[in-house]
Amino acid sequence: MHTLNRRDLLKIAGLAGAAGVVGGPSAVANAARTALAAESGALQVLDWAGYGNDGGQAMFAQYVKQHPGNKPKFTYMTNEADALAKIQAGLKPDLFRPYVGWVEYFATSGLVQPWDTSLLTNFKHLNPFMVKAGQYAGKQYGIPDDWGLDAILYRTDKVKPKTNSWSLLYDERYKGKIAWFDDPVENFTIAGLLHGFKDPWNQSDAELAQSKAFLISKKHLVRTIWASETDLDQQFASGDVWIALAWPNDWVQMKAKKLPVVYMHPKEKPIAWVGMFMLLKGTPRPELAHAYVDAWSSAKSGKWLEDNYGYGHANTLAKPASSDLLKALQLTNPRAVALPNAYLDRNVPRRAVYAKAWDEVKAA
Amino acid sequence: MFFLAPIGIVAAYSFNALALPPSSPGFTTSAWRSFIHSSVYLRLFWKSVEMSLIVSALVVVVAFPLAYFLALSGTKRKYILLLVLIAPFLTSYLLRVLAWKVILGDQGVVNSFLAWTGARSPDHPISALLYSRFAVMLVLGYVWLPFVALPIFVSLESLDTRLLEAASDLGATRWQAFRRVTLPLTLPGIVAAFLFVFIPTVGEFITPSLVGGTSGYMYGNQIVDLFGTGFPDWETGSVLALFLLAVIAALTVVFSRFIQGRDAAPA
């Protein structure tokens, strides 16, 4: 039986204290639990809600079969910044899932290490374009997995867009029925696309100021800025919101509720994202982490993800059961996440400046 | 130790004496200077103070008659009624806040009732009921009402009722007795109750994030966002957190001196 010595206790207290500064009592409990679990050797996964014990088991079934005695322990991240804050506060996951725009940031942060792709049996089936997007300096820091688009979801019985454009998110006719997504880069990029800026992901100070002023001037139209998909789905289903920047899964969920909805691709092009598994530097469980990611990379997992969440999957052999879904989300198009279909999210050199400006939009 | 050490760590972050990698630490007051010169943060702080002041004042006004009735009406069931008042505490805080969404939504209880009575068209519900400043203040008031009623109840119960009889014997009307005897003697309880609401609500972030929408966004939400949304900015987040702490501490000192001063004053 594993017993705790004085050093263990001090470590847990330290982690709990650090987490407490950031996240309050629940974070203290999580940090303490994580520290204990790390000693037992369980794989530590930092992932988004819906990808863990609350619904994602089918996506890592292969891992569970191979390692029945080592159930992964999940900690949830609400976004990459939250993951970064948790890791800095002392959480020690073996792997986590930021999105493609953060690959370069994390690869250069010293927090992660490249994967050994020879340990991933499903790697050869992964979309080469997405595989390349997970590389930095020739090394495979990110293993592509789920992908999708950020576009506009709206109620066809309530909303009549003048044109298929991001401008629907700022349409004065629907004041109080619009929801934005709580992400600085996303909001400033869309504002930049609408303003025709040369590089919306790397706006100059003057362009950022213009985007900020634009977003502040339109904020009165917005009822909520959603951070959790569950919140958005609830607001949409209850009729509190008719127009939202949303993910494909929200379209699938609202269709399942028989709501008349359209997932509109704006003429300025949607923004595409690809989930990238990243391996933490110095992890004591690299083989388990590789086995876990290999499970997620399988065609079977991909099909489950497509059928249940409406997201695409990097495994090119994965095919959803519904041809409607396949067609609507272009799941068989190997370059669906790239131009001319969409802008793939990318590294933002001045992410901190974007975040500060976005905070000011919310506070204004 | 457990109180001062975390504050010390936050203070170190606010001066960049500690920093999140890849940034390197180095003492600077730049985050404090930008905060003082930022109209955005100070305006948001004032907005939160204003909302908290309104909630605290209204809740005291609502709770006082309740506590007065329970303490001074002489009913034998006062402790049972008190239990009823604090019964909502038996359910989860989140559940109680979420229940308001069902009541206040566009297709919620209130709007459905208004549509049913014909007072409002179903196509034009009162949207300001949810995801608004009003929703935040209403829910905060509801959540904190028992916290206010209890200290007022205690101070009213410890009131020497013989003083009221004496006032009545000397010809005071009930209103005069209330104004000249009951109110001054229970003022410390009222002030304590006011602070019980004001202190936690001014830095509140859960309720506004659930029912506040864009217009109900408060100072506490900004602190949370600076620590973990978009890109972590612990330096500015720490400045905002310490400023809030300093204001609350100062207010607590001022009010507790006021309460002690009144208690120490000769009768």
Closest residue in A to B104 (Cα) is A240
**Which of A89 and A293 is assigned the larger pLDDT?**
A293
Distance, in angstroms, between A364 CA and closest chain B CA?
6
What pLDDT, on the 0 to 100 scale, is given for residue A28? Answer: 43
Give the pLDDT band (50/70/90) at residue A90. confident
Q: Between chains, do A364 and B10 touch, taking CB under 8 Å as contact?
A: no
Residue in A17, A182, A352 nearest the CB of B233? A352
Q: Between chains, do A88 and B232 touch, taking CB under 8 Å as contact?
A: yes
Selected from 3.40.50.1370, 3.90.245.10, 1.10.3720.10, 1.10.150.120, the CATH number assigned to the domain covering B38-264 reads 1.10.3720.10
What pLDDT, on the 0 to 100 scale, is given for residue A34? Answer: 44
Give A167-211 as a DSSP string: GGGG-GGGTTSEEEES-HHHHHHHHHHHHT-S-TTS--HHHHHHH
Average pLDDT of A240-251? 94
Range among A23-32, A187-196, B69-78 rated most confident: A187-196
Q: What is the pLDDT of residues A332-351, one digit of tens each?
A: 788 889 999 999 999 999 99
Handedness of CA A162, A164, A170, A173 (dihedral sign): positive
User: Mean pLDDT over all residues of chain A?
Assistant: 87
Q: Between chains, do A223 and B214 touch, taking CB under 8 Å as contact?
A: yes
Range among A39-43, A109-113, A167-171 rated most confident: A167-171
Residue A13 neighbours by CB distance under 10 Å: 14
Q: In B, which residues are within 8 Å of A355 by CB distance?
A: 229-231, 233
What pLDDT, on the 0 to 100 scale, is given for residue A235? Answer: 93
**In this structure, what DSSP letter does residue A50 have?**
T
**Three-state DSSP state, A57:** helix
Give the pLDDT band (50/70/90) at residue B262. low
Q: Between chains, do B21 and A84 touch, taking CB under 8 Å as contact?
A: no
Average pLDDT of A189-208? 96
Q: Between chains, do A359 and B233 touch, taking CB under 8 Å as contact?
A: yes
Q: In B, which residues are within 8 Å of A155 by CB distance?
A: none
**Residue extent(s) of CATH 3.40.190.10 domains in chain A:** 6-147+275-337, 148-272+345-363
Q: In A, which residues are within 8 Å of B222 by CB distance?
A: 359, 362-363
Average pLDDT of A279-289? 95
Which residue in this structure is represented by tokens 């619009």? A178
Residue B216 neighbours by CB distance under 10 Å: 24
Closest residue in A to B236 (Cα) is A356
Residue A1, pLDDT > 50, answer: no
Residue A323, pLDDT > 80, answer: no
Residue B73, pLDDT > 90, answer: no
Superfamily of domain A6-147+275-337: Periplasmic binding protein-like II (3.40.190.10)
Distance, in angstroms, between A41 CA and closest chain B CA?
27
Give the pLDDT band (50/70/90) at residue A214. very high
Residue A40, pLDDT > 60, answer: no
Residue A228, pLDDT > 60, answer: yes
Distance, in angstroms, between A363 CA and closest chain B CA?
6
Residue in A22, A238, A363 nearest the CB of B105? A238
Test the B interface: residue of A157, A223, A243 with most B CBs within 10 Å: A223
What pLDDT, on the 0 to 100 scale, is given for residue B254? Answer: 87
Residue B192, pLDDT > 50, answer: yes
Q: What contacts A186, CB < 8 A, 6 or more positions away?
A: A150, A245, A271
Chain-centre distance for alpha carbon A280: 18
Q: Between chains, do B106 and A239 touch, taking CB under 8 Å as contact?
A: yes
Distance, in angstroms, between A285 CA and closest chain B CA?
24
Q: In B, which residues are within 8 Å of A21 by CB distance?
A: 6, 9-10
* Per CATH, domain A148-272+345-363 is 3.40.190.10: yes
User: Mean pLDDT over all residues of chain B?
Assistant: 89
What pLDDT, on the 0 to 100 scale, is given for residue A333? Answer: 81
Q: Tell me the count of A-B CB pairs closer than 8 A.
A: 104
What pLDDT, on the 0 to 100 scale, is given for residue A134? Answer: 97
Burial of B259 (0-12, 13-18, 19+ CB in 10 A): middle
What pLDDT, on the 0 to 100 scale, is given for residue A330? Answer: 76
Angle at which helices A248-256 and A299-309 cross, to 10°: 60
Q: What is the pLDDT of residues B107-158, one digit of tens each?
A: 899 999 999 999 998 888 998 999 999 999 999 999 999 889 888 998 998 8
Q: Which residues of A touch B (CB under 8 A)?
A: 17, 20-23, 78-79, 81-82, 84-85, 88, 108-111, 176, 182-185, 219, 222-225, 227, 234, 238-240, 351-352, 354-356, 358-360, 362-364
HEC profile for chain B? CCCHHHHHHHHHHHCCCCCCCCCCCCCCCHHHHHHHHCHHHHHHHHHHHHHHHHHHHHHHHHHHHHHHHHHHCCCCCHHHHHHHHHHHHHCCHHHHHHHHHHHHCCCCHHHHHHHHHCCCCCCCCCHHHCCCHHHHHHHHHHHHHHHHHHHHHHHHHCCCHHHHHHHHHCCCCHHHHHHHHHHHHHHHHHHHHHHHHHHHHHCCCHHHHHHHCCCCCCHHHHHHHHHHCCCCCHHHHHHHHHHHHHHHHHHHHHHHHHHHHHHHCCC
Give the pLDDT band (50/70/90) at residue B77. confident
Residue A71, pLDDT > 60, answer: yes
Ordered by start, the domain boundaries in chain B are 38-264
Average pLDDT of A100-127? 96
Q: Give CA–CA dist B246/B251, Å, rounded.
A: 9
What pLDDT, on the 0 to 100 scale, is given for residue A25? Answer: 44
Residue A7, pLDDT > 60, answer: no
Q: In B, which residues are within 8 Å of A81 by CB distance?
A: 228-232
Give the pLDDT band (50/70/90) at residue A35. very low
Q: Between chains, do A88 and B6 touch, taking CB under 8 Å as contact?
A: no
Give the pLDDT band (50/70/90) at residue A2. very low
Residue B103 neighbours by CB distance under 10 Å: 17
Q: Between chains, do B222 and A362 touch, taking CB under 8 Å as contact?
A: yes
Closest residue in B to A180 (Cα) is B214
Lowest mean pLDDT among A90-104, B79-93, B181-195: B79-93
Decide: A285 and A43 in contact? Cβ < 8 Å: yes
Distance, in angstroms, between B76 CA and closest chain A CA?
40
Residue in B106, B225, B226 nearest the CB of A238? B106
User: What Rg do the C-alpha atoms of chain A give, in angstroms?
Assistant: 21
